């Protein structure tokens, strides 16, 4: 290992020890929001991406009968629309994926802080 690799390894070990003492995981960042709030936001974002992908597949064969018609740049605009559909549905409560992901994230977080 080089000197810089050793110092990075030492910093990582120090951060790991500090995280163990304070009960905070290393990947929580320093955004000011609680771990629970950040985990919930990430779970909701995950559900939004999943729902967007579902909507994108639903609109694949719609063609000119869809809400945007049929034209040369329709693919890009349809992607924007399906992304907004996914975000909106996830923000309104979604289909339950975010709750399960949140529970999993929190269980994983608690397992690594013990």
What pLDDT does 62 receive? 72
Choice between 13 and 109, residue whose per-residue pLDDT is larger:
109
60 and 7 in one domain? no
38 and 22 in one domain? no
Helix then strand then coil, % of the chain, to nearest 5: 75, 0, 25
Kindly report the pTM of this predicted structure: 0.62
Q: For the segment 7-36, what is each residue's pLDDT rounded down to a tens digit?
A: 545 454 554 444 444 444 434 445 568 888
Q: For the segment 40-98, what is each residue's pLDDT rounded down to a tens digit?
A: 999 999 999 999 999 988 887 776 666 666 777 777 888 888 899 999 999 999 999 99
Q: What are phi and psi of 26, to 5 degrees?
A: -70, -30
Provide the residue range defining the domain that includes 18: 1-29
87 and 40 in one domain? yes
49 and 25 in one domain? no
Query: Which residues have a Cβ under 8 Å from the Cβ of 82 and sit 6 or more positions away?
Result: 52, 55, 56, 58, 59
36 and 25 in one domain? no
75 and 20 in one domain? no
102 and 60 in one domain? yes
**Residue 100, token pair as written in the block:** 């399960």
60 and 80 in one domain? yes
Q: For the segment 82-102, what is each residue's pLDDT rounded down to a tens digit?
A: 899 999 999 999 999 999 999
39 and 4 in one domain? no
Rg for the chain, CA atoms, rounded: 21
């Amino acid at each position: 290992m080089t000197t810089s690799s050793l110092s990075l390894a030492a910093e990582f070990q120090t951060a790991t020890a500090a995280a163990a003492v304070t009960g905070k995981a290393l990947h929580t960042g320093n955004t000011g929001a609680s771990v629970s709030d950040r985990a919930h936001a990430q779970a909701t974002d995950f559900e939004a991406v999943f729902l967007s992908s579902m909507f994108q597949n639903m609109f694949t064969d719609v063609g000119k009968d869809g809400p945007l018609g049929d034209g040369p740049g329709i693919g890009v605009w349809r992607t924007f629309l399906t992304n907004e559909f996914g975000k909106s549905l996830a923000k309104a409560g979604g289909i339950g994926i975010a709750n399960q992901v949140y529970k999993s994230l929190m269980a994983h977080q608690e397992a690594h802080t013990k």
